[in-house]
Amino acid sequence: MGGIRMTTLGNILLQKEILLESGTNELEILVFNVGRFTFGINVAKVREILPREEMTALPQAHPSVLGVFQLRNNVVPCVSLRKHLQIEDDPGSDQQIILTDFNRMQTAFTVDGVARIHRISWEKILAVPAIMATGKTPVTAVAQIDGKLVSMLDFEMIADQVTEKILREEAVSNPHGLPREQLRIVVADDSVTVRQAMTAMLTESGYSQIHAFENGRLCWEWLDAQWKAKQNLAEIADLLISDVEMPQIDGFHLTKRVKDHPGLGTLPVLLYSSIVTPDNAKKGEAVGADAQISKPELHRVVAIADELILSRGGRAAAPKPPVIAETPRPAPAVTPAPQPQRQQPPMMEQPETYAANPALLETFRVELGERTDELKEWAAESSHDRRALLRTLHSIKSAAQVVPVHEVSRAVHQMEEIALDNMRDDASIVGPLTDLADWLHDLSQNRQRFAALLGACPDLSPAINA
């Protein structure tokens, strides 16, 4: 497969916005090779193609990370696909760079050579066969191009795998000297696993006053009741952190209600999602979100929380008056933090890492069983609510990314792709969804299989043996 001039390819990529607006049910695929393997990536995720750059190595980086390099005014991390996919080294490898742009961040990936861009119909994009779905190579789909099958790599999954150690940092320093133990943070996420991991990350860094809710409606009802009882935002919350995809009231609607409220309107709101897109970013801005990040950026939550709280005029920058512990406050009109109905074990006081917390692993296993029941119920219904299915899949993947269990998040991500590519054909979804649900159910009910799956990730072994 012959190469093409990067200047020509760069011109094509610069025009990609025009190409993708044609409305012809087609997409652009950039085909490249690593070793003897041929892969593809949606051009919508590609920023530009570059020759191999000089790298600055990073200490304690993921083995797949070659280092970072400067591109104009940005410092870009670079991942070797050859190393990540465990393809044997070969002289002259890793000579070209594909600069990607997704989840609001730029990441470079080295490849052996770039071939060309193909414009194909979405009908030529096929679901991943079962034998490939169970493999270690993260593939989202298979494209039919010039009579050949090209595996579409899951670059989002690769980026998530590479950054997993960053996501599991422990305490974050407090450069502004904020009295974090006195500040109140409200968290809304329908995944009990994500809520527990988020709470652990915040409390490890000193944010000990956290109210967590399992959906936007419960969160809003609590905020509204607290305002009616206290009429003082400083006594209610200093920051709201919310997932976007939630049942009943999602993160966008929750943010709008908060920002439109005469008393709660100045409360900073941080939204996060694993499906950050330009459209979603615009929606977040439209409802008044103060900051938005993707799931792979959750390691930044503590630092962003500090910044958002400080931006409220510095109320938290100076120490607050001491709280008299001997004088309890009157009971509020509602219970401050309703306990989730799902049964979950108590959190360890000081887990070594978030992923190695046995309580978090057990929480994820229990939640996995409950979410699997939701998938089976959806497959058995005569009329299907596609949004409900995508919401459940999103919750499973979010929880799996936080733990992290890459096999689960990769399989669920592939199911999301199938559901999105067959929006009007429920029959084509039920079969693979049932297979996925059976596999997840077996994992959640069989502790030995669950432990064996986690055993494939060396970083989780301390938790399994705890």
Query: Which residues of the chain fall short of a pLDDT of 50?
Result: 1-8, 10-24, 165-169, 314-356, 456-466
Domain ranges of the chain: 6-162, 172-310, 358-464
- Which pLDDT value is given to residue 254? 95
- Which pLDDT value is given to residue 175? 86
The whole-angstrom separation of Cα 8 and Cα 48 is: 11
- Which pLDDT value is given to residue 66? 92
CB 109 within 8 A of CB 79: yes
- Which pLDDT value is given to residue 347? 29
- Which pLDDT value is given to residue 232? 94
Fold of 358-464: Four Helix Bundle (Hemerythrin (Met), subunit A) (1.20.120)
- The matching CATH number, chosen from 2.40.10.10, 3.40.50.20, 3.20.20.70, 2.40.50.180, for 6-162 is 2.40.50.180
- Which pLDDT value is given to residue 190? 86
CATH of domain 172-310: 3.40.50.2300
Residues 6+ away with beta carbon under 8 Å from 66: 55, 57, 78, 79, 80, 83, 94, 110
